[in-house]
């Protein structure tokens, strides 16, 4: 969509070559055959290596990968040579019959079959696969002395009618029905086809609403039964798709990985148990000359028309149909794109530019040829003509005209009668146009489900579900929405034992409203969740804020802490509970009396740190005190850091939040108590102090710890001020982080004062600044090697160890401080520069995981029993990937506790009013239990010391 916006903004004309189809409906421009050709050649190359590791020498071993040959013709000649050797020398009978199963009948499959046919082969019908092995035994018996070799391979082409079967045994397979209603079919590929395959060449288009070809469990079952499957060439390369266990792409240089289904493990070698998997996603580039020539030869035929066409009507029909935008405007066939991105809402439904929800809404599911036959346009026309509204919830677009698409729209209207009229009109399209509206449980082509309703009298929401307002749509919001929106299903499934402690009534899925200054962020979070909706809101607009708060049961504020007090005042006035994840400050504490007087709970510090750390600590401390023990030492460590595999830079750190905040936090002073002595650390010495703290209790990670501000305050908070000789709280990082940051700070890279060089015009370049910081005004960083620069850093007193200096040099170069580029004009200090570079270079990619570690270490004394124990509790959480989307561990461990706090308040589980923290059993007992049910698990360990 950003690309489309750019094209429209530049008044460009855009053609989609995939939409250029001839009179027969087939594409005239496609790379599919080249993908199929290259994919099968690559797989045959790997097949030879795999058989060799299994103890069998085959002619495949002499074949190279596609990109090793100078041309497609040369590669085909090499395959033909392998075929001649099979015809002459044969294949070992122990691995025969070698059966290649090709899924799909399109260009990709045809390209793969083209290469396969260069080998001596026989194609068999899928129904004949079970008999193939027996037939070969009979054939070999008649050949006498040649019975130990087989002189051909077998092929089998399967399509959708071979991979699924109707759930209703009385019905036959119907392709149109399957595409429209895949839930009416059961997968059978793993039962009827896969048990007889040696190689699966996957060329079939797949969407997640269809059954998988092979799941991880199905492959494990097949393996346990002795299935002959050797490998899978996934030319479609749908990661985590039709082949569930293919979880990554591979490169041309290393095209295979080995998957062991029995241990669910992945390996980069060819030796060992499992199947080899090919998943190269740029296969046509292995034949660059031929693929480019093929594309160019066809495209050149259209250049004249493209150049001459001054208006859209002058173009041939097939080009007109493929034109998405003409001179910066979407063409008629594709106007629905903007309409679905920005739903049409009448002027009567907007106030001060903000979107207002329609009074009545229902969710409609549509499937069929929505886009290629432009049925979606008709549907949107009907909605808009009735002055209704719509919001796109879900959209899965078919690959070509043979495949259907699926969408879900939330349709809204001002009154029930208008909404019914809209739905009736949509239903008429459904019956007239072969059923575009999808029904899950019966044969009707029409379905809709109620999202929520409001009264006609005053326009207020009248949903029977409890309502929670979330203010802010940042990265921690999604887990909170997901938990609240599915709470009813989780509780009804007896997921949470603690629910039995409540009032016995059931809870519905919570209706969630996400309000943000930026509507698109809220829409993205609520998309696809029927009982969640997005709203645009400026929280400084007190009237709008009050109206919204008055209509819900609980408010969660995920905004910066400076907004919390005004929001809290509003909640107290309207008698609504509030949850925040931020620290309690004096201005918030001033509201305690007012909140208690009206019975309102302001639950603060309900995140990770603060939040889960409080609950873990108080559970441990309260149990000790109940047994007449005392806590003599209390240490708490918490950190959000990259998972080990993502710690791939010299600092072993990445930012999931603003680098400026992290750098400033590293300059805060700290106070803690150690063995009865109060120790204060100046902010300038904070990084140096980290070397005193290591965590031997977590041997899997080499971690260090920075003292975290005022630890002594937690003595009062946790009731251990007089008994604990050690009270320490710290922030975790990988070992070496503090030394690097300390060295960079010493060099002046975090100075917030304007730097004299940055006032110069023209702007200085990075090497000039680095030379200045290292007091080398010539070309030291660019001319010298790392050792020389490191020695300069040491000689200037920025650090003492050569290892630290060398790692600092690597960090400098990783950040780009040695690159010959102009320093951005927005940077006026070295602090600005460091923040900018770290923001650019030290961020998580969409597929990288972060890691959260929270660890409490208590030494406990029981005087009456003269016993000393070590009590430890550890939370270790990693980012989670689902449906191709990564949710960070930080978001999970902050967002989920906030949602739990709201649930406890909804069910009146928290009786205490006023400004509170999660320090009491009424909060931490059920909250920790629900947290564990959500997959965030705490591991506790008790060890007797003496």
Q: Which residues of 826-853 are buried (b: 16+ CB within 10 A; e: fewer)?
A: ebbbbbbbbbbbbeebbebeeebbbbbb
Side-chain-facing half-sphere of 514: CA atoms under 13 Å: 31
Which one of 238, 372, 609, 857 is the catalytic residue?
609
Query: Got the DSSP string for 134-193?
Result: HHHHHHHHTTGGGTTEE--EEEEEE-HHHHEEESSTTS---HHHHHH-GGGEEE-HHHHT
Distance CA 922, CA 927 (A): 9
CA distance 904 to 603: 10
CA nearest to 876, candidates 707, 700, 714: 700
Count Cβ atoms within 10 A of the Cβ of residue 567 and give its class: 0-12 exposed, 13-18 middle, 19 or more buried: buried
The Cα–Cα gap between 291 and 116 comes to 19
Interatomic CA distance for residues 327 and 311, integer angstroms = 9
Instruction: Look at residues 320, 226, 312, 276 and name the one whose alpha carbon lies nearest to residue 43.
Output: 276
Collapsed DSSP state (helix, strand, coil) of residue 875: strand
To the query of whether residue 609 is one of the catalytic residues in this protein, the response is yes
Helix (H), strand (E) at residue 815: helix 802-815
Is residue 177 within 8 Å of residue 367, measured between CB atoms?
no
The strand pairing partners of 850, in sequence order, are 642
Q: Residue with structure tokens 């441990």?
A: 620
Distance CA 603, CA 895 (A): 14
Residue 621 phi/psi, 5° resolution?
A: -70, -45
537, 545 Cβ separation under 8 angstroms: yes
H or E stretch including 31? none
Distance CA 890, CA 476 (A): 7
Say how far apart CA 785 and CA 783 lie, in whole Å.
Answer: 7
Nearest to 436 by CA among 166, 176, 165: 176
How far is Cα 780 from Cα 792, in angstroms, rounded to an integer?
Answer: 9
Identify the three-state secondary structure at position 301: helix
SS3 943: strand
Look at residues 237, 284, 287, 227 and name the one whose alpha carbon lies nearest to residue 257: 237
CA distances from 152 to 113, 128, 132 (A): 15, 17, 13
DSSP string covering 233-285 = EESS--TTSSBTT--S-B-SSS-EEEEETTTTEEESSSSSSSEEEE-BS-GGG
Contact 513, 533 (CB under 8 A): yes
Q: Burial level of 580, CB count in 10 A (0-12/13-18/19+)?
A: buried
> Cα separation of 899 and 502, whole Å?
17
Buried b (16+ CB within 10 A) or exposed e, 537-546: bebeeeebbe
Q: End-to-end CA distance of the chain, in Å?
A: 65
- The residues near 464 (Cβ < 8 Å, ≥ 6 apart) are 508
Catalytic (active-site) positions: 609
């Amino acid at each position: 969509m950003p690309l489309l916006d750019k094209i429209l903004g530049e008044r460009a004309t855009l053609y989609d070559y995939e939409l250029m189809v001839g009179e027969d409906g087939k594409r005239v421009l496609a790379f599919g055959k080249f993908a199929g050709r290259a994919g099968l050649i690559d797989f045959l190359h790997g097949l030879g290596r795999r058989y060799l590791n299994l103890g069998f020498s085959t002619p495949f071993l002499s074949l190279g990968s596609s990109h090793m040959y100078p041309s497609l013709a040369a590669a085909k000649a090499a395959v033909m040579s392998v075929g001649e050797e099979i015809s002459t020398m044969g294949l070992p009978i122990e691995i025969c019959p070698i059966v290649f199963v090709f899924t799909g009948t399109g260009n990709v499959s045809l390209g793969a079959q083209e290469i396969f046919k260069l080998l001596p082969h026989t194609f068999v019908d899928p129904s004949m696969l079970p008999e193939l092995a027996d037939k070969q035994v009979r054939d070999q018996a008649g050949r006498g002395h040649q019975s130990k070799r087989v002189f051909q391979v077998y092929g089998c082409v399967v399509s959708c009618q071979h991979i699924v079967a109707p759930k209703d045994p009385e019905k036959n397979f119907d392709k149109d029905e399957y595409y429209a209603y895949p839930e009416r079919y059961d997968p059978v590929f793993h039962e009827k086809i896969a048990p007889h395959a040696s190689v699966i060449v996957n060329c079939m288009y797949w969407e997640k609403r269809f059954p998988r070809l092979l799941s991880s469990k199905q492959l494990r079952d097949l393996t346990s039964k002795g299935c002959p499957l050797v490998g899978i060439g996934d030319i479609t390369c749908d990661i985590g798709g039709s082949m569930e266990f293919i979880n990554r792409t591979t490169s041309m240089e290393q095209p295979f990985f080995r998957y062991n289904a029995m241990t669910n493990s992945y390996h980069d070698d060819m030796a060992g148990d499992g199947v080899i998997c090919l998943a190269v996603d740029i296969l046509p580039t292995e034949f660059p000359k031929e693929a480019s020539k093929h594309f160019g030869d066809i495209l050149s035929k259209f250049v004249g028309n493209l150049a001459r066409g001054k208006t859209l009507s002058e173009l041939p029909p097939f080009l007109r149909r493929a034109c998405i935008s003409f001179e910066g405007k979407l063409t008629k066939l594709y106007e629905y794109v903007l309409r679905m991105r920005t739903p049409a809402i009448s002027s009567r439904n907007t106030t001060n530019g903000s979107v207002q929800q329609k009074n009545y809404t229902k969710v409609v599911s549509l499937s069929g040829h929505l886009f290629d036959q432009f049925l979606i346009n008709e549907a949107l026309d009907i909605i808009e003509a009735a002055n209704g509204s719509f919001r796109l919830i879900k959209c899965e677009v078919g690959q070509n005209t043979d495949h259907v698409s699926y969408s879900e729209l939330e349709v809204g209207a001002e009154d029930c009668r208008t909404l019914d009229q809209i739905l009736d009109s949509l239903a008429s399209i459904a019956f007239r146009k072969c059923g575009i509206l999808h029904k899950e449980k019966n044969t009707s082509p029409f379905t809709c489900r109620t999202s929520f309703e409001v009264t006609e009298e005053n326009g207020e929401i009248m949903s029977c579900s409890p309502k929670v307002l979330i203010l802010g749509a940042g990265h921690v919001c999604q887990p909170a929405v997901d938990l609240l929106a599915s709470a009813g299903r989780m509780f009804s499934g007896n997921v949470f034992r603690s629910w039995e402690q409540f009032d016995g009534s059931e809870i519905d899925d919570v209706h969630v409203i996400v309000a943000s200054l930026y509507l698109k962020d809220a829409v993205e979070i609520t998309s696809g969740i029927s009982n969640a909706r997005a709203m645009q809101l400026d929280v400084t607009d007190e009237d709008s804020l009050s109206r919204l708060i008055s209509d819900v049961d609980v408010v969660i504020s995920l905004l910066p802490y400076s907004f919390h007090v005004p929001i809290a005042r509003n909640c107290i006035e309207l008698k609504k509970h509030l949850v925040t994840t931020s620290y309690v400050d004096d201005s918030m504490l001033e509201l305690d009396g007012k909140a208690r007087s009206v019975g309102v709970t302001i639950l603060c510090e309900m995140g990770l740190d603060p939040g889960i750390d409080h609950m873990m600590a108080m559970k441990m401390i309260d149990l000790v005190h109940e047994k007449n023990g005392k806590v003599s030492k209390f240490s708490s460590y918490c950190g959000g850091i990259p998972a080990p595999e993502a710690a791939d830079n010299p600092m072993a750190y990445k930012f999931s939040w603003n680098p400026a905040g992290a750098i400033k936090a590293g300059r805060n002073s700290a106070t803690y108590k150690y063995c009865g002595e109060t120790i204060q650390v100046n902010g300038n010495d904070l990084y140096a102090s980290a070397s005193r703290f290591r965590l031997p209790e977590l041997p899997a990670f080499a971690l260090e710890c920075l003292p975290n501000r005022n630890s002594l305050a937690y003595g009062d908070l946790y009731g251990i001020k007089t008994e604990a000789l050690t009270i320490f709280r710290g922030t975790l990082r990988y070992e070496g982080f503090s030394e690097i940051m300390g060295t960079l700070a010493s060099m002046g890279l975090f100075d917030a004062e304007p730097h004299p060089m940055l006032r110069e015009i023209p702007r200085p370049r990075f090497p000039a600044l680095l030379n200045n910081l290292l007091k080398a005004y010539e070309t030291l960083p660019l001319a010298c090697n790392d050792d020389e620069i490191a020695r300069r850093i040491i000689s200037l007193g920025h650090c003492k160890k050569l290892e630290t200096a060398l790692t600092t040099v690597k960090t400098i170069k990783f950040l780009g401080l040695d690159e010959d580029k102009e320093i951005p004009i927005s940077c006026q200090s070295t602090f600005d520069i460091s923040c900018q570079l770290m923001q650019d270079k030290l961020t998580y990619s969409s597929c990288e995981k972060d890691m959260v570690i929270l660890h409490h270490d208590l030494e406990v004394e029981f005087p009456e029993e003269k016993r000393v124990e070590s009590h430890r509790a550890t939370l270790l959480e990693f980012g989670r990937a689902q449906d191709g989307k990564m949710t960070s561990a930080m978001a999970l461990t902050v967002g989920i506790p906030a949602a739990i706090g709201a649930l406890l308040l909804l069910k009146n589980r928290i009786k205490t009013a006023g400004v509170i923290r999660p320090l009491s059993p009424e909060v931490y007992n059920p909250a920790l239990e629900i947290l564990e049910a959500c997959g965030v698990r705490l591991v506790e360990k008790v060890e007797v010391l003496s």
